[in-house]
Amino acid sequence: MNSLNIPADSVGLVETRTFTFAHPPRELRLVSGKTLGPVTLSYETYGELNADCSNAILVLHALSGSAHAAGFNSPEDQYPGWWDYYIGPGKAFDTNKYFVISSNVVGGCTGSTGPASINPETGREYGLEFPIVTIQDMVNAQWHLVRHLGIRRLLAVTGGSMGGMQALQWAISYPEMVQSVIALASSSSLSAQGIAFNEVARQAIFRDPHFNGGNYYHGQKPDDGLSLARMIGHITYLSDKLMHERFGRRLKNQELPAFNFSSEFMVETYLHHQGIKFVNRFDANSYLYITKAIDYFDLKADYNGSLVSAFENVVSDFLIISFTSDWLYPSEQSVEIVKALRTNGKNVVYTEIESDFGHDTFLLDDERTQRNIHNFLRSEFEKAR
């Protein structure tokens, strides 16, 4: 550790930057038919772009992520970026070798244009006047960022969960720009059960007495609703076995039950902690919009019900990784993607990793996941040179 207590294999101190485009009258046209502009995306970069621009990797986050994927934004940061286990010198996304770009999404709340941004037409926050955005809209916005950075072709596009959805969409929307895709714990569409959990979470926000139709930015915010939404979502990220091993039926501070409605069980306390922590960093309206974008994502529907047709024109190589205990994006959904790609004669590496940590395994320090990514990227980089 150095004087700032930053590990030697960290990218160190990093700056979150922004890029603004789609100024009127050249607004970003959305899938819904509406337009949005100007649009700002927040992003970070790690490593150096090589002379022929052949080492660029685009990293895309899940529902509650941000552009801050690795390193520290200040010496006072207690925690590094959300994928710090994977991005850095000598890591799976080796910043001694690759130029890594981490982009936030349209609709987000950490520096990018979203419902908390000022609507230039009204001079106040968009709130629920913000247009519905889709995964495809997020990708189209990122295309402008990548081109702004002077990159014509990406060595890889990668992400887990919603980030994996974006990576798949990149290969379909911009096939000539994507050499390879690494999608972890992801799917070509969310299941009915997943949509149901998202809707219950959204209703928790809508029914908070402080939601005020989404116009809460100058008053009390719907913290209770957002906290409950996070608690609901967090249950889906873990596995039953992990919750049993970590919490079981253990009580928090006593041996016998108190016979009241206080949070006595350790699992209750854990969920309350996750909910409280979340409201300090996320916007309730962004939660509504991003979960809706996930719900709308359906590659089959975009291609007359055929996943094979969806992947017909992609030219990327693929690494698809799933985890055995992920019941939100189960392995069979990854296998469906693999089969559709192979039917089209595409080059696909598929790995199912044994894990008890549920959907969130892709965020954890898993040596097998890192090794698969490292080996796949090494092969792709050799092809690109």
Active-site residues, by number, are: 161, 326, 359
Buried b or exposed e, range 81-113, using 16+ CB within 10 angstroms: bbbbbbbbbebbbbbebbbbbbbbbbbbbbbbb
User: Contact 110/68 with Cβ under 8 angstroms?
Assistant: yes
3-class DSSP state for residue 350? strand
Give strand ranges (E) for 47-149: 56-60, 87-88, 93-94, 99-103, 118-119, 124-125
Beta pairing class for 156-160 and 180-184: parallel
Rg (CA), the chain: 21
Beta pairing class for 156-160 and 56-60: parallel
Give strand ranges (E) for the chain: 17-21, 28-29, 35-36, 39-46, 56-60, 87-88, 93-94, 99-103, 118-119, 124-125, 156-160, 180-184, 317-323, 348-353
Alpha-carbon distance 77 to 102, whole Å?
A: 18
Beta pairing class for 124-125 and 118-119: antiparallel
User: Contact 294/168 with Cβ under 8 angstroms?
Assistant: no
CB count within 10 Å of CB 221 equals 18
What the block records as the tokens of 260 is: 């009241």
Three-state helix/strand/coil letters over 114-132: CCCCEECCCCEECHHHCCC
Alpha-carbon distance 61 to 160, whole Å?
A: 7
What the block records as the tokens of 195 is: 């949509």
Beta pairing class for 317-323 and 180-184: parallel
User: Contact 85/121 with Cβ under 8 angstroms?
Assistant: no
Q: For 200, how many CA atoms within 13 A lie in the half-sphere containing its CB?
A: 13
CA 309 remoteness from chain centre: 25
User: Contact 234/245 with Cβ under 8 angstroms?
Assistant: no
